[in-house]
Amino acid sequence: MISVSNLSYKIAGKTLYENVNLTLNKNSRYGLVGANGSGKSTFLKILSGQITDYDGEITKEKNTKIGVLEQFLDPWLSWKLTDIVLSGNEDLFFILQKKYTEAENTWQQQLAESSYHQQYHEAEKVLSGLGLNRKYWEEPLSALSGGMAMRVLFAKLIFSNPDFMLLDEPTNYLDLPSIEWFIQYLKKEYSGGFVISSHNRDFLLKTVNGVLDVDYKKITFYMGSYHHYEQKKQEDEIAKKKEIENLQKEKERIEAFITRFKAKASKARQAQSKQKQLERIKLPEIPVSSRRYPRFFFSLQEKSFSNVLQVEQAKLARGEKILLNNFSLEIQRGDKVAFVGANGAGKTSLLLALLGKLPLVSGEVIWGNRTSIGFLSQTLEEVSGNMSAYEWLFSNASVQNSGEVHTILGQVLFSREEQQKPISVLSGGEKTRLAIAKIMLQKPNVLFLDEPTNHLDMEAIVALEQALQDFAGTVFFVSHDKRFLQNVGTRFYLLNNKELKEISLKDFE
């Protein structure tokens, strides 16, 4: 059990929360939700002991093993993947550490006498479940990309089987099959509790039995499923606004009475009584919500022809690796096309090939007449440089009207002050919103979006879903967010075993 008493915390003069009181039960499963910048990651760091300069008290039950996902890869770069996972066992860690740090081979005998070989199979199960290819299991961590390497540290945490886990956006590192494996692991194999920060609504729906909502400088506990939380949060917001409106109306009614009758001698005493009544009315001060909804909207400069894209019997490769054999596509105006599959299947490469940024081995991409394209990359490498957000958008969006640029930036939640922030200090969410603003000004009729929800909070994801549903053009996109796929996609293509196959929506349900 973790007890939070009168927790308050400020960062750079900004109050994140005041007087928070919570009891986190050992076997409960909490989803931690809130807008970007509201303090979710900070709260997890406070619980884990990484941040200590807070006001209040955090107490933990003795002998509770708390697991936190490590963020630093460097100490493990020379270690084999299987050894990293097995080091989640404390006894094995001390033996394996000697393997990589000591010249003598004393560790070999110790390892032979340990539970290493019995536990090796369990380590393999976790690596496989998280989508790490068997051919890398005996390779050093340095052989993997940053995202895949983080999965190995995630596998190490799972293998350590802590009593309680604190995880910050764990599904960001996972593809759809791995997310599903993790869901089943939490449901069927893991007996402990957790606090997981996530913007993946489908994941939260399937895993949590309570929600911690970070808003209004508070952390409020909602018992029950994530669906129940969504309903109750909406009801609470309506009730809060109604209460303030009623009190404000009563205050205005009494003020009007006093103004009307205070000059009349016959009503003076009554007016004085009303004045005292007015002074007793205390309107509660409601903090401003940290939740903000951007106003995304994609309009068209002109419509494309009905036949937007055609590909016949094409082959796609990345270097020496064949990704797709003999694939074909025929896309019509208005289709919202989702490409899904495991990491490494070739989804991003397919987008790049259709855009003409990656050559096909064979075949041809034929675009219809009057097509214009807007592209949001997964890595956001297009949002770079030393310019301010305003300067970058003005120079990249090919518009002459500075007022229009300011207006669009305001719609995607950049205040006038924030519009002057250098690109180099923008968060992932801010860069994504800035890149979307560029597309909004370009007004293309075809959108290419590679993992557009990766850095967005739930409010921005919902706004993007609505904008794409309303968009009259064509969309090609990649996502590992199941609800986003369901809400936006009209056609779904699975990349698997070097094949591209159209599948139905029910495959996601």
CB 164 within 8 A of CB 65: yes
| Pairing of β 66-68 and β 193-197 | unpaired
Assigned domain for 357 exists? yes
pLDDT of residue 397: 80
The average confidence (pLDDT) of the chain is 89
**Which whole-number Å values give the CA distances from 359 to 262, 315, 318, 345, in the listed order?**
83, 10, 9, 17
Assigned domain for 187 exists? no
Helix, strand, or coil (residue 20): strand
What mean pLDDT comes out for the span 192-202?
93
Provide the b/e sequence for 222-254 (b: ≥16 CB within 10 Å): beebbeebbebbeeeeeeeeeeeeeeeeeeeeb
Helix, strand, or coil (residue 68): strand
Assigned domain for 366 exists? yes
- The DSSP secondary structure of 155-214, one letter per residue, reads HHHHHH--SEEEEESGGGG--HHHHHHHHHHHHHT--SEEEEE---HHHHHHH-SEEEEE
Angle of helix 428-442 versus helix 389-396 axis, rounded to 10: 30
CA distance 125 to 397: 48
Claim to verify: residue 357 and residue 435 sit in the same structural domain:
yes
pLDDT of residue 450: 94
Claim to verify: residue 464 and residue 336 sit in the same structural domain:
yes
- Which residues does residue 66 pair with via DSSP β-bridges, in sequence order? 164
Claim to verify: residue 328 and residue 267 sit in the same structural domain:
no
Whole-model pTM: value is: 0.81
The residue from 152, 172, 191 where one domain ends is 152
Structure tokens at 26: 């050992």
User: Residues 6 or more apart from 104 whose CB is under 8 A from it?
Assistant: none
CB 72 within 8 A of CB 66: no
Q: What is the DSSP letter of 416?
A: T
- Count up the domains in the chain and report the number: 3
Tell me the pLDDT tens digit for each residue of 254-294: 777 666 655 555 566 666 776 676 677 665 555 678 888 99
CA distance 258 to 218: 38
The residue from 245, 262, 280 where one domain ends is 280
- The DSSP secondary structure of 447-459, one letter per residue, reads EEEESTTTT--HH
Tell me the pLDDT tens digit for each residue of 53-84: 999 999 998 888 999 988 778 889 999 999 99
pLDDT at 306 over 60: yes
Tell me the pLDDT tens digit for each residue of 209-245: 999 999 989 999 999 999 999 999 889 888 877 877 8
Structure tokens at 111: 């390892």
Q: What is the DSSP letter of 429?
A: H
Q: Which residue has the higher pLDDT, 249 or 474?
A: 474
Claim to verify: residue 351 and residue 276 sit in the same structural domain:
no
pLDDT of residue 212: 97
CB 40 within 8 A of CB 211: no
Residue identified by tokens 């293509």 is 493
Claim to verify: residue 331 and residue 372 sit in the same structural domain:
yes
Claim to verify: residue 481 and residue 359 sit in the same structural domain:
yes
- The DSSP secondary structure of 283-329, one letter per residue, reads ---PPPPS----------SSPPPSEEEEEEEEEEEETTEEEEEEEEE
Claim to verify: residue 272 and residue 319 sit in the same structural domain:
no
Claim to verify: residue 346 and residue 414 sit in the same structural domain:
yes
Secondary element (H or E) of residue 250 = helix 226-261
Q: Which residue has the higher pLDDT, 378 or 306?
A: 306
Claim to verify: residue 360 and residue 433 sit in the same structural domain:
yes
Assigned domain for 38 exists? no
pLDDT of residue 252: 77
Structure tokens at 199: 């913007």
Assigned domain for 258 exists? yes
Go through the chain and tell me how many residues it has. Answer: 509
Helix, strand, or coil (residue 471): coil
| Residue among 119, 125, 248 at smallest CA distance from 182 | 125
| Pairing of β 210-215 and β 218-223 | antiparallel
Claim to verify: residue 362 and residue 453 sit in the same structural domain:
yes
Secondary element (H or E) of residue 19 = strand 14-24
Assigned domain for 405 exists? yes
CA distance 347 to 352: 9
Assigned domain for 473 exists? yes
Cα angle, residue 400 at apex, residues 394 and 405 outer, rounded to 5°:
45
Which CATH number goes with the domain that contains 489?
Answer: 3.40.50.300
CB 9 within 8 A of CB 46: yes
Query: pLDDT tier at 348 (50, 70, 90 boundaries)?
Result: very high
Claim to verify: residue 268 and residue 313 sit in the same structural domain:
no
pLDDT of residue 385: 85
- Which residues does residue 375 pair with via DSSP β-bridges, in sequence order? 448
Determine phi and psi for 430, rounding to 5 degrees: -65, -40
pLDDT of residue 74: 85
Claim to verify: residue 434 and residue 379 sit in the same structural domain:
yes
Task: State the residue range of the domain holding 272.
Answer: 229-280
Count CA within 13 A, CB hemisphere, residue 235: 7
Assigned domain for 197 exists? no
